[in-house]
Structures are given as structure tokens and as C-alpha cells.
Amino acid sequence: MSLLSVPTSKKPLFWSADINKLDKQKHRKYIIHQVLQYGSITDIEWLKQYYSQTDIKQTFCDQPRKTYSTRTFNFIKNYLLKINGHLDPNQYVTL
């Protein structure tokens, strides 16, 4: 088990989980999507201390989570992760 060390300033990102039990590998999808969706640029830089850009991009593309706003989805896809291929917004965007 590889627990994620969550600083106090990052705890609000993981409001729906027990941060003392977040396993870096087991909860990878949850951790990455929570930070991408709710985090600031500083939070995303923190995330990159635990996961590579490739890991973040792969998780976002291969394990979609339908919780994003259209704006957030487009920002992450087009600017933050620079994904050139097509991703179906219906797998990410909630109304």
C-alpha cells in the first residue's frame, strides 16, 4: 500500500474520501480526476510530484469520469494536457 501524503491545503480537493486512506495506485483515477476538476494550477503541479504527465493524460483519456463542466473539460483537454485526438465530451461533461 502506497498512501498519498495530502497536505492540509489540498484536503478540500478530496472532500468525498478519507484522505488518510488514499492509496496512490489504488485510488489513482479518483485522485487525478479530483485534482484536474477542482484544483488550481498549483494543485496540478503538486499532482505531478506523484504522477507523470503521461500517467495523468492516460488516466484522463482511458478512464473518463462524467463530472466535468464543459469549460473545465475543454481547458484540461486542449490546454493543460494538449490532447489532439478526439475525446467524446459525453463521457466527461455533466449538465
Domain ranges of the chain: 8-91
Is pLDDT at 1 greater than 90 in this prediction?
no
Q: 50-89: string of b/e by CB count within 10 Å (b at 16+)?
A: bbeeeebbebbeeebbeebeeebbeebbeebbeeeeeeee
Share of the chain above pLDDT 70, in %: 100
26-85 pLDDT, tens digit each: 999 999 999 999 999 999 999 999 999 999 999 999 999 999 999 999 999 999 999 998
